[in-house]
Each structure stands twice: as C-alpha cells, then as structure tokens.
C-alpha cells in the first residue's frame, strides 16, 4: 500500500521548499532584529545606513 503511494509521488526539492517557506530572511538579519528587540533601549550607537 505505502509502496504504491511512494511510486505515484512526484520528486521535489525539499530544501528549496523549507528555504522558501521558513527562511524568507537571512539569518544575520533575524539575529540583528532579535538583538534590537532585546537590547534596543540599552544600545548607545548611531543608526546603521543599511536599514
């Protein structure tokens, strides 16, 4: 039974699916946003020109 479903399935790129749905932003940007959310009021630095 399972083998029949396996044979009827279409191949797809699982890594691309995960990347598209779960990783729409670069990891570095997520990390920086997390730092801003946690320590935003405590940081005494000039705003970045790359916002």
Convert 31-45 to b/e letters by CB count within 10 Å (16 or more is b): eeeeeeeeeeeeeee
Instruction: For residues 10-23, give the mean pLDDT.
Output: 84
Instruction: For residues 8-29, give the mean pLDDT.
Output: 85
**Does residue 51 register a pLDDT over 60?**
no
Please report, for the chain, the start and end positions of each structural domain, with discontinuous segments joined by +. Answer: 9-37
Q: In this structure, what token pair is assigned to residue 40?
A: 């935003």
- pLDDT 10s digits, 22-49: 778 888 888 988 988 998 877 666 777 7
């Amino acid at each position: 039974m399972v083998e029949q479903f396996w044979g009827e399935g279409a191949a797809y790129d699982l890594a691309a699916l995960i990347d598209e749905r779960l990783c729409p932003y670069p990891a570095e940007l997520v990390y920086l946003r997390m730092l801003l959310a946690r320590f935003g009021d405590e940081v005494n630095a000039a705003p970045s020109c790359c916002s």
